């Protein structure tokens, strides 16, 4: 069985932060755009889904960084 790599990613179009285990591209839950996964939009890569969830929650709750369009 292949282990999934969970990624916390930021949408280039709207700035929405979410978790995905896609390898090439994913669809943003907020704006619906298909985003290719590059190193500049990945905030965290891990095999542990709980660590990915903790990072996602910390980014949402702390609002440490303003995520805007990355274009």
Q: What is the pLDDT of residues 20-63, one digit of tens each?
A: 999 999 999 999 999 999 988 999 999 999 999 999 998 877 65
Residue 64 pLDDT greater than 60, yes or no: no
**Domain coverage including residue 45:** 6-62
Which residues, 6 or more positions from 62, have their beta carbon under 8 angstroms from its beta carbon? none
Cα–Cα distance for residue pair 2/47, rounded to 1 Å: 11
For residue 71, being part of any structural domain is answered with: no
For residue 54, being part of any structural domain is answered with: yes
Q: Tell me what pLDDT residue 29 has.
A: 93
If one compares 71 and 3, the residue with the highest pLDDT of the two is: 3
For residue 25, being part of any structural domain is answered with: yes
Strands (E), 3-71: 6-10, 17-20, 25-27, 34-36, 42-46
Look at the chain and report how many structural domains it folds into: 1
Q: Tell me what pLDDT residue 70 has.
A: 55
Which residues, 6 or more positions from 57, have their beta carbon under 8 angstroms from its beta carbon? none
Tokens of 11: 């949408």
pTM, full prediction: 0.80
């Amino acid at each position: 069985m292949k282990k999934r790599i969970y990624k916390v990613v930021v949408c280039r179009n709207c700035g929405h932060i979410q978790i995905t285990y896609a390898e090439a591209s994913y669809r943003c839950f907020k704006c619906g755009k298909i985003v290719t996964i590059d190193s500049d939009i990945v905030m965290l890569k891990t095999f542990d889904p709980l660590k990915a969830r903790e990072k996602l929650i910390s980014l949402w709750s702390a609002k440490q960084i303003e995520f805007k369009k990355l274009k």
